[in-house]
A and B are shown apart, each in its own frame.
Chain A
Amino acid sequence: MFTKQTKVWLILTVVLSLLALASACGKKEETTSDTSGPASTGKAYTSKGNEGTVTGTIAFNGVPPAPKKIDTSADPVCGQKNTNLTTEDTVVTNGKLANAFVYIKDGNLADGTKIAEYTFTVPAEPAVLDQNGCHYRPHVLGLMTNQKVRITNSDPTQHNIHPTPKNNPEWNQTQPNGAPPIEKTFTRAEVLIPVKCNQHPWMKAYVGVLKHPFYSVSAENGTYTIKGVPPGTYTVAAWREGGASGTEKTMSVTVPASGSATADFAFGEAATTAGQPGLEMMPALELPMTGRR
């Protein structure tokens, strides 16, 4: 009845139908457990009461790019809260950079054990990522593996939350205005996961997921503080968005018992990195971060 060509198309159509059905009906596992990492196999860290802090300032050298105005005509609701909606990729105030993600990348405790060998208590309180004024708030967020992130929509319009991780499962979920919060977890460490809203393409956030709680995001005045750091020598990294996958700089700091270490970073033109005097310094590194669309 049918020609050979028609039969080929028929078979292709049936196969694609089955694939589409399987894809539509199948429940995608969104929280795969990371059993390979040290967080699930390491020894639990117990506080000695002599933990210190890492503090610093993120500077931006040179003239920062001016924020760009966002055209909200496709969804006028976005322009109601803020008639002058602009981009937030480089927020600089008096030469200080906000929204830099600073974290302990690696290092050893004072007793020589690696920080990666320990597990840390996951906060019961979820981190909050809000959609407000057609921007993600905060723009950069840190959380621990398996810590819940609660995503809320404070806008009178619908959004869709779409993280595009490399190591964690990708997901995409619509959140209409007035909808209840969405709670998710990321089970694998990943710095940083871009989050976008495909309905409003300017909306972007970055989520840093770590197996320990030693991270911070620079405030509007460029300062940051990482508390409760066990005494030891660590590689501290500062990441900022920009380009295909952001820019990361690192330096080595030694946190004394019950003391404080300083790690200042600088981005922009002729950027430098400065740690506290007398500390072993690593050269500023421009590390390409892994990223994707």
Chain B
Amino acid sequence: MKKGVHRFALLVASATFFLIIAGALVTSHDAGLATPDWPLSNGQVFPKMVGNLFWEHGHRLVATGVGLLTIGLVVYLFIRERRQWVRRLGVVALFAVIAQGLLGGLTVKLMLPLAVSSAHATLAQLFFCTTVSLAVFTSPGWLEDRPTIAEKGTVPLRYLCVGALVMILLQLVLGATLRHATTWDLPPDKELLIAHIAGAITVAVVLSSVVATVFRRHRDERFLTRPAAWALAFLCVQLVLGIAAYLARLASPNDPQPLNPMVGITVAHVACGALVFASTIILTLRAFKILRRCEVPLSLASSEVA
């Protein structure tokens, strides 16, 4: 029974990932204002998809698909899912995708103000986070009974994971702001670029530490080591893509138009950022699922005092 819900949630999360790629393509092509109206494009539901309108309207079509899929998921959850909090999370996802659509409309109507465009890009990642969480909560691995494990070490792994998540989210916000601050034909904003590079170093250190902690404390627990390994792998790819994206953007103002190498690399950088975020979310949720604070028995504590 649950498998169907899980598969549907996986579909929504995958579609959302594809939507993030479609959105990144719009930004890299500077296609956000290829049509001045919203929700229609040049007054049509299906305009002629030429030039940059292909990317902007394509993004809108994919977004519509994701919106419909999210509605379907919420309906599915209300029919099949017994856990009230999971249903409510589905409703949160629905509101998030509606808000995201409206932010997309706002950014077009207001002609891409930095704050709105960055908020649109950030909410995309938060919505993706919600859909990934729904896929995790409905997965067979989450539903099966698992013995709880005592936290080891002075700082609980769960808190380290939350810290890494916060750092990654801040880095995503910085990245979104950097991308929307200037277009391909202008050099990237220097201050934002420095902040984003500093953020990358911080995330690399924090996430690597979290992954190392997982392998040091719970090396036999595949429930934790697997997402940790994925997070580390995505992080390594992301750092390489970040350097490549930096070099590509430094060169792009001399190009006659947004060229495929720059577009491909910057979009891959955005997509991989989402995967780093998603894998860390999975790790964090799983850590909260099976790890518990190590309780000191009262009798033992008393004897130690005596």
Whole-angstrom distance between the alpha carbons of A75 and B99 in the complex? Answer: 33
Min C-beta distance of B193 to chain A, whole Å = 14
B82-118 contacts to A (CB < 8 Å): 88, 91-92, 95-96, 98-99, 102-103, 105-106, 109-111
The interface bits of chain B over 12-32 (1 if a CB of A lies within 8 angstroms of the residue's CB, else 0) are 000000000000000001111
Chain A neighbourhood of B182, CB < 8 A: 293
- B256 interfacial contact with A, CB 8 Å: yes
- A63 interfacial contact with B, CB 8 Å: no
Whole-angstrom distance between the alpha carbons of A169 and B186 in the complex? Answer: 21
- A74 interfacial contact with B, CB 8 Å: yes
The interface bits of chain B over 37-65 (1 if a CB of A lies within 8 angstroms of the residue's CB, else 0) are 11000100000101111100000000000
Whole-angstrom distance between the alpha carbons of A67 and B30 in the complex? Answer: 22
- The answer to whether B50 touches A75 (Cβ under 8 A) is yes
Complex partner residue of A23 from B98, B109, B256, CB under 8 angstroms: B109
Whole-angstrom distance between the alpha carbons of A200 and B51 in the complex? Answer: 6
The interface bits of chain A over 253-285 (1 if a CB of B lies within 8 angstroms of the residue's CB, else 0) are 000000000000000000000000000000000
- A176 interfacial contact with B, CB 8 Å: yes
Chain A neighbourhood of B103, CB < 8 A: 16
Task: Assign chain B's interface to a size class.
Answer: 35 or more
Stretch at the interface among A104-112, A154-162, A184-192, A214-222: A154-162
Complex partner residue of A74 from B32, B48, B51, CB under 8 angstroms: B51
- A201 interfacial contact with B, CB 8 Å: yes
- The answer to whether B111 touches A172 (Cβ under 8 A) is yes
- A12 interfacial contact with B, CB 8 Å: yes
- A289 interfacial contact with B, CB 8 Å: no
Min C-beta distance of B215 to chain A, whole Å = 34
Min C-beta distance of A66 to chain B, whole Å = 11
Chain B neighbourhood of A12, CB < 8 A: 95, 99
Min C-beta distance of B138 to chain A, whole Å = 19
Min C-beta distance of A16 to chain B, whole Å = 4
- The answer to whether A70 touches B257 (Cβ under 8 A) is yes
Complex partner residue of B54 from A23, A74, A157, A162, CB under 8 angstroms: A74
Chain B residues in the interface with A (C-beta under 8 A): 29-38, 42, 48, 50-54, 88, 91-92, 95-96, 98-99, 102-103, 105-106, 109-111, 182-187, 255-259
Q: 4 closest Cβ contacts across the A-B interface? A: A9-B95, A199-B51, A16-B102, A68-B256
Known: A5-B92, A13-B95, A201-B29. 16 other contacts (CB 8 A): A6-B88, A9-B91, A9-B95, A17-B102, A23-B106, A24-B109, A69-B256, A170-B111, A173-B36, A174-B36, A174-B42, A176-B42, A198-B31, A198-B34, A244-B187, A293-B185
